[in-house]
Structure 1
Amino acid sequence: MLKPVLHFLALCAFCFAVTATAAADVLQVREDAPERYVVKKGDTLWDISAIYLSQPWRWPQLWQMNPQIENPHLIFPGDVLRLIYDADGRPMLVRDDRVRRLSPQSRVTDTRPDAITTVPLAMIRPFLTHDKLLSAEELAGKPYILGASSNVKNATEGHTLYVRGELEPGKGYAIYRKGRPYIDPETGDNLGFAMTLVATSRAFRAGNDERNEPASLHILDVKREIRQGDLILPAIDGELLPAYFQMARPDSALNGLIIDTTSKLREFSKWDIVIINRGANDQLKPGHMLDILRPSPTVVDSRNGQPVYLEDSSRYQRLASNFGHEQIKMPRERVGHLMVFKVTERASFAIVTDTYRPVRVGDHIVSP
């Protein structure tokens, strides 16, 4: 008699789990979401989706059933969007062509520069196309600037550059300056060096290391003065600059830290660029969404009704915490979200997509 009961209970538990999972997967539209929205200049898909969803990174699910908008990032200022529901009660955004009649086919192929993008491309463009983070291993043996055709410390346009290394005549090369290293605060490991684009050039002599003959470059464009020792890397012509990122959570749980910001400010906010100490080795990909958490201040509690923050405690209280007083680590609270947009092996660039409080270096990044 017991076995049938157990089987019945197991079946009920399975059905409940399936139902709960399906319910959790249904898009939850915000209670204050408008039925109609007019796209404005400067909007991003993130901004628009945040008006309708508590989890804006799930915006592809809000747009994917829309027969009018095959490429959802190709909507434009002035377009009117309506929130509707299908026969199964699933929400989706559609363009209201009763207000603005435009051919869906022409919109799919439209290349106007004001098309709405996932995130502001102007903010991340330099990091997608120019600035890099390279490891010591990747930099080892790279060609470097020996000097110029004139005895100058900082070469500019009009100079010929001489390079230690062998180059391919006619090929374009980028000139980079190695910056400071990014150090993982958890392990002390060097995650890579910040690489800043200095200039672009084209090789016209190959060079020969065995005969100690330098390669030669013509300068094409200078962003800052070129110095001896600057490194030479192949230029990537027409590097892809995606307007559309497929936002998603990573497939596995992840914990890490924000280790730097390009703004160099103590606190930063929405659309600032940060560097995190997780990368391709941790299965991170462009478009992955992560929570930003901050640990609440630790409290020393002597159980006498007078707890005190650890940072405000006296030397005696800190010593006493090892002899009966308790140091209580408070929970971490969410302060924002970020989207990874450029990944290296051990670190990544990410853009802060929203904040509840100012974000700081040292804040935790997690994927539940």
Structure 2
Amino acid sequence: MPAARPAHISVLVACLTLATTSAWAQASKLPVTPEQRRVADQVASAGVPLSELAPNAPDSHTVVAGDTLWDISKLFLKSPWRWPELWGMNRDQIRNPHLIYPGQVLLLVKGDGRARLQIGQQVGGGAAGDTLKLSPQMRISALDSSAIPSIPLHLIQAFLTDAVVFDTDELAKAPRIVASQEGRVVLGQGDLAYARGDFGGATDFRVFRTSRPLIDPTTKEVLGYEAPYVGTADLIRPGEDRKTADGKTEIVPATMQIKQVKQEVGVGDRLAPTPQRNLDRYVPHAPDHEIKGQIAALYGDALNAGQNQIVALNRGRRDGVERGHVFALWRDGQAVVDKTQDRAQAIKLPDERHGVLFVFEVYERVSYALIISVKEPVKPGDRFTQP
């Protein structure tokens, strides 16, 4: 294929390569919704309108370590969550939208007011003026661990350990710390604690304080119970009920060792098994049906939330919310007085869209979202809709 002319190319975001059979089998299980495929097929037939490209999109971009799908999309599209359109621009070369690797060169050929994605490979030392060879690429890899993530994981990774929501107040029945080493009031890293309850065969636990209910701002329904995280502990010796010489039952609690602490651990704190987490597959996409709701709570002690902070939504799995969903944040229009006529009249200004949410954790009736962008502080009761 002749070298592409720089004047006729800019770059878009998404390029994927084939992997080994085992890696491909793993990747094919990653979530690609029917709606995402529909959009991709639609775009593949004609390309993306040039009007959807971001202003000042660069002519070329080589994916580097540290890139995220969101960041790269933001370079080239007005709406970075619209990744299926990028994927659909060249379905012949882009087989799976979840695997994007450092070193790949992303090109966009323009023509007739449309843009189509092609995969390029740099020829030469990468200096200015080097040509770009357009060709399919093969990447051989046993695993897809080097693929770039969809969003900056450092913004949510701590939260995934720190927070949990229970559908019912089940922590009330969870194993509990009943005593501390040498009668200490608070416990720190390395200290021993003693606990009772049904450990269910687990040995690795998170430690929580008493949970608080999450309340729907409108219906006042209890959506779930959010448990404040205080640390982690390992079960090092199980408890037992044993008979004494006089025939009585002696209760011996389990022995725990405090592994990590965010706050001091104390008697009465509850234990829940540490779940396995997959932090890699948070792919931005719009819901395939209408979902709207409100901010139920701000995570932590803040009165208002801003960019890169976390909020709880009053919609969850039962409402069709899933990981990766993107929502628009709306600000209620102000109530003002129209004084332009002889008689003043109260009016309400239109609601204004002022931010974007990215859902990364979903429970039955509540979900958590990262505020990707926002113009004004976010508070409980603010509403969200389709992006």
When normalised by structure 2's length, the TM-score is: 0.70
The one-letter code sitting in structure 1 at the alignment partner of 2:226 is F
Equivalent residues in 2 for 1:217-236, closer than 5 Å: 217-219=255-257, 221-223=259-261, 224-236=263-275
**RMSD, aligned α-carbons:** 3.6
Contact 1:62 1:92 in 2 (8 A): yes
Residues 93, 217 of structure 1: CA spacing in aligned structure 2 closer, same or farther, 3 A cutoff?
Answer: farther
Moved more, 239-248 or 144-153: 239-248
Q: Is residue 2:378 matched to residue 1:360?
A: yes
Contact 1:147 1:163 in 2 (8 A): yes
The one-letter code sitting in structure 2 at the alignment partner of 1:227 is G
Residues 301, 87 of structure 1: CA spacing in aligned structure 2 closer, same or farther, 3 A cutoff?
Answer: closer
- Choose which of 345, 348, 362 in structure 2 pairs with 1:329: 348
Residues 297, 271 of structure 1: CA spacing in aligned structure 2 closer, same or farther, 3 A cutoff?
Answer: same
- Choose which of 184, 195, 198 in structure 2 pairs with 1:163: 195
Partners of 1:38 and 1:122 lie apart in 2 by 23
SS in 1 for 2:183: coil
Q: Is residue 2:69 matched to residue 1:30?
A: no
The one-letter code sitting in structure 2 at the alignment partner of 1:105 is R
- Choose which of 332, 346, 349 in structure 1 pairs with 2:365: 346
Deviation for aligned residue 1:342: 0.3
Contact 1:79 1:95 in 2 (8 A): yes
SS in 1 for 2:218: coil
- Choose which of 111, 118, 121 in structure 2 pairs with 1:96: 121
Q: Which runs of 5+ in 1 are unaligned?
A: 1-21, 308-324
Aligned to 1:144: 176
Residues 255, 71 of structure 1: CA spacing in aligned structure 2 closer, same or farther, 3 A cutoff?
Answer: closer
Partners of 1:91 and 1:132 lie apart in 2 by 42
Partners of 1:31 and 1:172 lie apart in 2 by 47
The one-letter code sitting in structure 1 at the alignment partner of 2:231 is V
Partners of 2:252 and 2:168 lie apart in 1 by 23
- Choose which of 75, 89, 101 in structure 2 pairs with 1:51: 75
Q: Is residue 2:213 matched to residue 1:213?
A: no
Partners of 1:151 and 1:31 lie apart in 2 by 62
Give per-residue Cα distances to partners, 1:224-248, cap 9 Å, x unaligned: 3211111111222xx2323232322
Aligned to 2:207: 175
Moved more, 212-221 or 259-268: 259-268
Partners of 1:304 and 1:363 lie apart in 2 by 32
Aligned to 2:324: 287
Partners of 2:47 and 2:271 lie apart in 1 by 51
Deviation for aligned residue 1:122: 0.8
Deviation for aligned residue 1:294: 0.7
Give per-residue Cα distances to partners, 1:177-236, cap 9 Å, x unaligned: 235443322123333223314222115224459x67353133151213211111111222
- Choose which of 228, 250, 262 in structure 2 pairs with 1:195: 228
SS in 2 for 1:63: helix
Residues 170, 190 of structure 1: CA spacing in aligned structure 2 closer, same or farther, 3 A cutoff?
Answer: closer
Aligned to 2:39: none
Equivalent residues in 2 for 1:297-312, closer than 5 Å: 297-301=334-338, 304=341
Contact 1:271 1:352 in 2 (8 A): yes
Residues 93, 295 of structure 1: CA spacing in aligned structure 2 closer, same or farther, 3 A cutoff?
Answer: farther
Partners of 1:34 and 1:306 lie apart in 2 by 54
Deviation for aligned residue 1:157: 4.3
- Choose which of 51, 56, 60 in structure 1 pairs with 2:84: 60
Q: Which runs of 5+ in 2 are unaligned?
A: 1-41, 127-132, 243-248
Q: Is residue 2:293 matched to residue 1:256?
A: yes
Residues 306, 35 of structure 1: CA spacing in aligned structure 2 closer, same or farther, 3 A cutoff?
Answer: farther
The one-letter code sitting in structure 1 at the alignment partner of 2:107 is R
- Choose which of 158, 161, 164 in structure 2 pairs with 1:132: 164
Aligned to 2:18: none
SS in 2 for 1:284: coil
The one-letter code sitting in structure 2 at the alignment partner of 1:279 is G
Aligned to 1:204: 237
Partners of 2:202 and 2:316 lie apart in 1 by 34
Residues 96, 296 of structure 1: CA spacing in aligned structure 2 closer, same or farther, 3 A cutoff?
Answer: farther
Give per-residue Cα distances to partners, 1:18-72, cap 9 Å, x unaligned: xxxx69x964432633331244564321121122222321213313537278565
SS in 2 for 1:163: strand
Residues 165, 267 of structure 1: CA spacing in aligned structure 2 closer, same or farther, 3 A cutoff?
Answer: closer
Residues 170, 258 of structure 1: CA spacing in aligned structure 2 closer, same or farther, 3 A cutoff?
Answer: closer
